[in-house]
Amino acid sequence: MPNTSATPDPDLAATAARVLPGGGFGNFPPEVVIRDGSGGRVWTEDGREYVDFLLGSGPMLVGHAAPEVTAAVQAQVPRGTTFFASNRPGILLAEAIVAAVACAEQVRFVSSGTEADLYAMRLARAFRRRDKILKFEGGYHGMSDGALMSMAPTRPSNFPRPVPDSAGIPRSVQDDILVAPFNDLDAVARLVREYRDELAGVIVEPFQRIIPPAPGFLQGLREITAEHGIPLIFDEVVTGFRFAYGGAQEYYGVVPDICTLGKVIGGGLPLAAVAGRADIMAHFDRARVAEADFLFQVGTLSGNPVASVAGLATLEILRRPGTYDRLFATGRSLMSALRELLQRAGIPAQVIGEPPLFDVVFTGEAIRDYRGVLRGDAALLRRFNAKLRARGILKAESKYYVSLAHTDDDIRHTIGAWEAAIEELKAEGAGG
């Protein structure tokens, strides 16, 4: 068990403030410094204990320090931690991905979801010999220049013109990105037909952040792209092995041409992948394509053996009978409880998502796309999240990740924290 007797270290906070911009890693509020994790809980350096719905931003689907994953890592480390060359664990993990994921005929490993999405878009460009990528407003595809277009615009522009989300992105990037509204098949169809001779590919989160696809949207997107020979890319960095063993493409019954994977496949260690049709993946193989069509890709830690054994151990757990039934049951009970508490308090809110991944948006309107989320009361959500953290619930700004390690006690604690926090919000005037 983690050591819960630690005392705060003021020198650590001072050191962080001195050596890190903003005093942290840029991922999460810097005052939260995690010391230990076990199962569905984490402990901070100041000794606070939390039910953890952050889960390292999603990788810890089977829980922190899962014994089988830990044992696999401990067995591999004495044998070598990285080689740059091919290795058995990486090859076996690729084989497991190909067996599980419908679109995956071949796999190329990288170290992060950002890399995977960047190379997936580059792969589509190499295959189509075109430059433009169509993405969806509010869709998150990592930190590359092309991905950081209309990912979280506070003032959305007219479609299909993108809005850069960060300083330091060349203006020229805007010319090669088209942006469409999620869940609007008619708008996508118009853009694909208008730009079909310039489009390299279409990239989409099949489940966009916390927004499920509308019935028929993914199927229609598959039909439109196939009609024009344009590769469809599913960004499954989040949904891969989370919604089903075969990912969102199994869960929603739609198979793309290319997908990206991350988070779960590394078992908590840095690992991600691009997977897809063999004829498209051939562009990574110099022997199979013309020199001008070869996509150059190397990475020091790609296919890292330690990350690969952690991924293999994680996938072994996920293959066990009843695993996803249990995960979904936990998520459904949480979503139902949160929805009921908010309705009872008379606070306008939508609990949206799928059982393994959901959140609340404080609005009385139904949500279909990013702009629907943007119309929610973000300040009220921040207050709610702060009250929950004070009651031992750790989560991202707009996401609850559910794990197999969350226990009945974790669920009871969470519902109790929700109930108390919602009562406070109501007393403060939320919901009128």
Angle of the 185-195 helix axis to the 217-227 helix axis, nearest 10:
10
Catalytic residue among 52, 176, 184, 235: 235
Place of tokens 């690729």: 94
Which of 37, 57, 153, 34 lies closest to 399, judged by CA?
A: 57
Catalytic residue among 140, 251, 370, 400: 140
Neighbouring CB atoms inside 10 A of 11's CB total 8
Catalytic residue among 135, 263, 395, 399: 263
252 among known catalytic residues: no
What is the strand order of the sheet 34-38 is part of?
34-38, 41-44, 49-52, 393-394
140 among known catalytic residues: yes
What the block records as the tokens of 106 is 């071949």
User: How far out from the chain centre does Cα 21 lie?
Assistant: 24
What is the strand order of the sheet 132-136 is part of?
106-110, 272-276, 258-261, 232-236, 199-204, 132-136, 177-180
235 among known catalytic residues: yes
Q: How far apart are CA 23 and CA 18, in angstroms?
A: 7
Place of tokens 């989370």: 242
Residues annotated as catalytic are 140, 235, 263
